[in-house]
Amino acid sequence: MAALKRFYAIVLAFSLIAFVSIANAEDNASDPYQQIEQVTVDLLEIISTYRDGYPENEQAYFASLDKLLSTHIDFGFIARNVMGSYGKSATADQRERFAEEFRAGLIETYGRGLIGYEDQEIVLLKSDAIEPDQRRVTVRQEIRSVDAVYPLEYSMARKKSGEWMVVNVVINGINLGKTFRNQFVQSAQRSGGDLDAVINGWSTE
């Protein structure tokens, strides 16, 4: 069980590669496939910068990830989906606090996994032409090591501004959004519907 949990922790960590777009790169912002390619370079540079001094520089490392990720992940959209039907009964403050807890948990949990990246090959699979009025696209990537291949699928949505943002990830057949939503529902049921207790005890590990 411990080995299986670590396997998914590592693969989930790599999924963050898809969650950043390079600043001021208009061409990349209009093409989700190019965006993912550039993201790989940018994020690995961050890992390289902080690896030698880790974990003493952990907070600075998290801050660097946070600066990138918070701008380019639609955390509000993802958090609302994770809350599911409970989001309708939640207050605006509860929804905002959960989005913050969800964001912080992902950055810290998967940031710790990413710091152990060891030169696996990351391959972007076939890309299709993007239509001018297209609002959704699935970008597929593989992380290839000597003894395994980890398939990743990124659901991306185009905002009114034209920017593409990641709104969900399917990792090795596991739908990340649904997994976290099930976790939220189970926590809410155990707490008798006390959303404050769910939010205060939330963990993405």
Domain of residue 43, CATH code:
3.10.450.710
The structure tokens 């943002």 sit at: 165
Structural domain containing residue 82: 2-200
CA pair distance 184, 167, nearest whole angstrom: 17
For residue 8, being part of any structural domain is answered with yes
Sheet order of strands, 136-144 included: 121-124, 136-144, 149-158, 164-171, 174-175
Can you give the pLDDT of all 205 residues of the chain as single tens digits? 444 455 555 555 555 554 443 333 445 567 888 877 777 777 888 889 999 999 999 999 999 988 877 777 788 899 999 999 999 999 999 999 999 999 999 889 888 988 887 767 888 898 899 999 999 999 999 988 888 898 989 899 999 888 899 899 898 899 999 999 999 999 999 999 999 999 999 987 6
For residue 205, being part of any structural domain is answered with no
For residue 56, being part of any structural domain is answered with yes
Token pair for residue 178? 């649904």
pTM to 2 decimal places: 0.79
CA pair distance 67, 82, nearest whole angstrom: 23
Total structural domains within the chain: 1
For residue 117, being part of any structural domain is answered with yes
